[in-house]
């Protein structure tokens, strides 16, 4: 069994250290208050058993809390007092500087928490270590100087989560929709070099990848681009290739019929589209941004975003090539085709691509085939999104964060970002962004109320005001930011075309950007209050009531401050483990609520709940509609490559019932024996490990595992809490 030290490193669990600590406190107590040695050994055995029952490596603090409870339960109050005093004294010493030790453990790759903090970062490489080191300094400064102490304490206790504190010291925002159209059509500047409008599709793709890398290095969240912004350059290349072909014929004295000329031009064009898409696929996968990871980029595929039928056909050509190449995958270091994490793909289900006989149904069938093997694309329903977003259809900013519907266009603010492609009267989404996220732990509110619904709402109100103060910190940190800090974003078109030295403040109001109130653990919260599940009528109604109340708060803040607060279904990754540990510390292990190393993401039905795919999506659609700032639902499926009709059935259900959803399959490979199937999770000495079912390989460096954990696909493995959640998932088909 392992234990996690305070600096995040992992070491062997030695019960004798518990015994020694209790004996020291025992010897310091009054003679009459001391306990016998048998009691000390019994307490040690009890704590050791409790740690083993967790199914994960406990932290030092958790073990010490268990020791305190054992001493109190044995009536050894004076011994407990000595033990607590010693802990407090040591804590004061550590407060002098906790940052150095954590940074040193990062450099030596001994920090287990950092290793699994982000499933798409390799913690061994220098760029990731540099980013983590800077993050530790940022967190230290933020906690000691920049943030109010009540916000810091609530964050550390798992009452709320102040996201991305490791970037808070800098004036950086979360995620955005890149205005690729403006940058390609009207030019941009990258590291001081003027980039003019490209003269071919392949060049446009190359510039797009450079923009993606630059944007990723100047923010900390996800970004999205639209293939519709690349589609006009297909015609540019078509005309260019046609001219070149005509010139070749004239120079060589050859004659060619119009039909032959068109066929040859289209064949050459297809080859260029393939090369351009390969550029995006391979550069995004191989790019390493300044924060030590591939860009968190989403590629959006919406046929009706094209501006003409001809452009729509060209867009369809690009989408087809993207899906074909993603289906193939990328080669790992052994030369085997595997599932890449990026780019994330989103495909919009529309009236003309749903059924056999529809003009673009062939793309939907290809999307289903790709999803069955590579887990992407995910799906947006044009029908449902129009109902929920006032007639507009647009992509999320990364994995699930959605902008609020455009209101600055309608209220007369106009082209606030000075975008080169702004069209008066037309709603604008590209170039907009999210300021940041603070998430409330709903489970903690539920358990703190102890079954009293009136007390629940009292605590709920208090926590909402705490979240509001924390979100204002996010907003106020961005106020006064000058455009010079990230020229690609604020001056050269990705988000705006502001002047040098101009502050970005006007982009923080009137609905141009959003700021997100996140929430987590609705399932466990409701269960703690009335003993019902979200899949039961009483549980569903209470869950929906909580969601409506959350929206009331964001609406109130928005009306008062002209800032677009929006409710966001938080994609917990490492935080799910942190929240679970904090809940166990505060409330103990409660069956069905705190007995896991994770809590449930946002409004999701619990991963262990037996339910079929269609019923799950039907229920979750009600909650997703109340999560306008971002949400995604999923169904867990087995290998569906030989049952594409079932995949298509789910996709049609998505179109009619829910705005945004995905199918999770498995896509793994063992580099030792060549096994191509699902790598299993097994428990080994109190720790969950990945094991090849064919050869028993347990070396994570010699296997490729891809799982969707919070919207994005992860390929660098996960902490113990998230790993347990993955292990516990049941199939919905």
Catalytic residues: 174-175, 397, 399, 401, 434, 568, 573, 711
Contact call for residues 399 and 601 (beta carbons, < 8 A)? no
Our separate counts of H helices and E strands in the chain read: 24, 23
CA atoms within 13 A on the CB side of 600: 24
Pairing of strands 564-569, 514-520: parallel
Token reading at 83: 């033990």
- DSSP β-bridge partners for residue 634: 662
Helix (H, G, I), strand (E, B) or coil at 63: helix
Helix (H, G, I), strand (E, B) or coil at 661: strand
- The C-alpha torsion from 401 through 403 and 404 to 407, rounded to 10°, is 170
Q: What is the DSSP letter of 200?
A: S
- φ, ψ dihedrals at 425, nearest 5°: 85, -15
Q: For residue 215, which of 182, 169, 167, 176 has the smallest C-alpha distance?
A: 176
Contact call for residues 570 and 519 (beta carbons, < 8 A)? yes
CA atoms within 13 A on the CB side of 406: 21
Phi-psi region of 726 (alpha: psi -120 to 50; beta: other; left: phi over 0): alpha
Pairing of strands 193-195, 330-331: unpaired
Contact call for residues 620 and 569 (beta carbons, < 8 A)? no
CA distance linking residue 253 with residue 264, whole number of Å: 17
Residue with tokens 């208050």: 33
- How far, in Å, are 3, 42, 57, 107, 685 from residue 12 at the CA level? 6, 21, 10, 21, 10
Rounded to 5°, the CA angle 429-432-437 comes to 120
Cβ neighbours, 10 Å, residue 548: 11
CA distance linking residue 218 with residue 209, whole number of Å: 15
Cβ neighbours, 10 Å, residue 410: 12
CA distance linking residue 144 with residue 141, whole number of Å: 5
Cβ neighbours, 10 Å, residue 409: 21
Contact call for residues 440 and 519 (beta carbons, < 8 A)? yes
Pairing of strands 633-636, 660-664: parallel
Cβ neighbours, 10 Å, residue 435: 22
Token reading at 557: 């803040």
Burial class (CB in 10 A: 0-12, 13-18, 19+), 31: exposed
Residue with tokens 């696909």: 713
CA distance linking residue 304 with residue 309, whole number of Å: 9
- Would the CA dihedral through 644, 648, 649, 650 be positive or negative? positive
Rounded to 5°, the CA angle 414-315-180 comes to 40
- φ, ψ dihedrals at 526, nearest 5°: -65, -45
Q: What is the DSSP letter of 609?
A: -
């Amino acid at each position: 069994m392992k234990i996690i030290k305070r600096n995040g490193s992992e070491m062997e669990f030695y019960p004798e250290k518990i015994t020694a600590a209790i004996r020291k406190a025992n010897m310091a107590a009054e003679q009459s208050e001391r306990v016998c040695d048998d009691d000390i050994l019994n307490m040690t055995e009890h704590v050791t058993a409790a740690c083993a029952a967790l199914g994960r490596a406990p932290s030092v603090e958790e073990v010490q809390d268990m020791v305190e409870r054992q001493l109190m339960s044995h009536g050894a109050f004076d011994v407990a007092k000595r033990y607590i005093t010693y802990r407090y004294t040591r804590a004061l010493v550590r407060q002098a500087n906790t940052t150095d030790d954590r940074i040193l453990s990062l450099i030596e790759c001994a920090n287990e928490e950092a290793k699994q903090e982000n499933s798409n970062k390799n913690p061994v490489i220098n760029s990731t270590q540099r980013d983590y080191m800077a993050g530790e300094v940022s967190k230290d400064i933020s906690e000691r100087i920049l943030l109010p102490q009540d916000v810091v304490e609530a964050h550390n206790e798992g009452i709320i989560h102040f996201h991305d504190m490791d970037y808070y010291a800098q004036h950086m925002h979360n995620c955005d929709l890149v205005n690729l159209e403006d940058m390609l059509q009207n030019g941009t500047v990258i590291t001081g070099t003027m980039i003019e409008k490209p003269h071919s599709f392949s060049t446009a793709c190359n510039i797009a990848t450079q923009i993606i890398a630059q944007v990723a290095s100047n923010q900390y969240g996800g970004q999205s681009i639209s293939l519709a912004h690349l589609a006009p350059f297909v015609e540019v290349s078509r005309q260019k290739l046609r001219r070149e072909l005509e010139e070749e014929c004239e120079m060589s004295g050859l004659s060619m019929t119009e039909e032959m000329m068109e066929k040859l031009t289209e064949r050459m064009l297809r080859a260029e589209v393939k090369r351009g898409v390969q550029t995006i696929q391979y550069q995004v996968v191989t790019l390493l941004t300044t924060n030590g990871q591939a860009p968190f980029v989403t590629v959006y595929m919406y046929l009706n975003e094209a501006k003409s039928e001809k452009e729509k056909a060209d867009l369809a050509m690009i989408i087809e090539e993207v899906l074909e190449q993603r289906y193939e995958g990328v080669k790992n270091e052994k030369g085997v085709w595997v599932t890449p994490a990026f780019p994330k793909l989103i495909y919009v289900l529309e009236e003309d691509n749903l059924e056999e006989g529809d003009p673009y149904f062939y793309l939907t069938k290809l999307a289903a085939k790709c999803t069955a093997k590579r887990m992407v694309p995910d799906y947006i329903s044009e029908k449902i999104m129009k109902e929920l977003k006032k007639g507009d259809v647009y992509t999320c900013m990364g994995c699930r964060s959605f902008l609020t519907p455009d209101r600055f266009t309608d209220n007369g603010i106009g082209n606030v970002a000075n975008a080169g492609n702004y069209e008066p009267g037309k709603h604008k989404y590209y170039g907009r962004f999210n300021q940041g996220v603070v998430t409330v732990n709903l489970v903690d509110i539920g358990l703190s109320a102890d079954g009293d619904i009136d007390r629940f709402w009292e605590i709920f109100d208090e926590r909402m005001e705490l979240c509001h103060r924390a979100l204002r910190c996010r907003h106020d940190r961005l106020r006064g930011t000058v455009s010079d800090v990230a020229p690609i974003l604020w001056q050269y078109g990705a988000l705006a075309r502001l002047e040098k030295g101009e502050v970005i403040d006007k982009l923080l109001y009137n609905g141009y950007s959003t700021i997100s109130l996140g929430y987590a653990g609705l399932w466990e919260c409701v269960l703690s209050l009335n003993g019902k599940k979200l899949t039961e009528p009483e549980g569903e109604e209470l869950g929906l009531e909580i969601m409506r109340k959350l929206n009331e708060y964001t609406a109130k803040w928005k009306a008062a401050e002209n800032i677009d607060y929006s409710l966001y279904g938080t994609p917990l990754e490492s935080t799910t483990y942190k929240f679970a540990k904090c809940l166990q510390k505060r409330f103990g292990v409660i069956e069905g609520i705190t007995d896991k190393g994770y809590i449930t993401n946002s409004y999701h039905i619990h991963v262990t709940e037996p339910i079929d795919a269609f019923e799950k999506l039907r229920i979750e659609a009600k909650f997703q509609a109340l999560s306008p700032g971002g949400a995604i639902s999923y169904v867990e499926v087995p290998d569906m490559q030989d049952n594409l009709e079932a995949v298509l059935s789910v996709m049609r259900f998505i179109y009619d019932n829910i705005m945004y959803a995905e199918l999770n399959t498995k896509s793994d490979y063992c580099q030792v024996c060549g096994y191509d199937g699902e790598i299993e999770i097994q428990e080994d000495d109190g720790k969950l490990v990945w094991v090849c079912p064919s050869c028993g390989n347990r070396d994570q460096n010699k296997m490729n595992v891809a799982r969707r954990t919070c919207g994005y696909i992860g390929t660098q493995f996960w902490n113990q809490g998230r790993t347990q959640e993955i292990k516990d998932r049941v199939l919905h088909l």
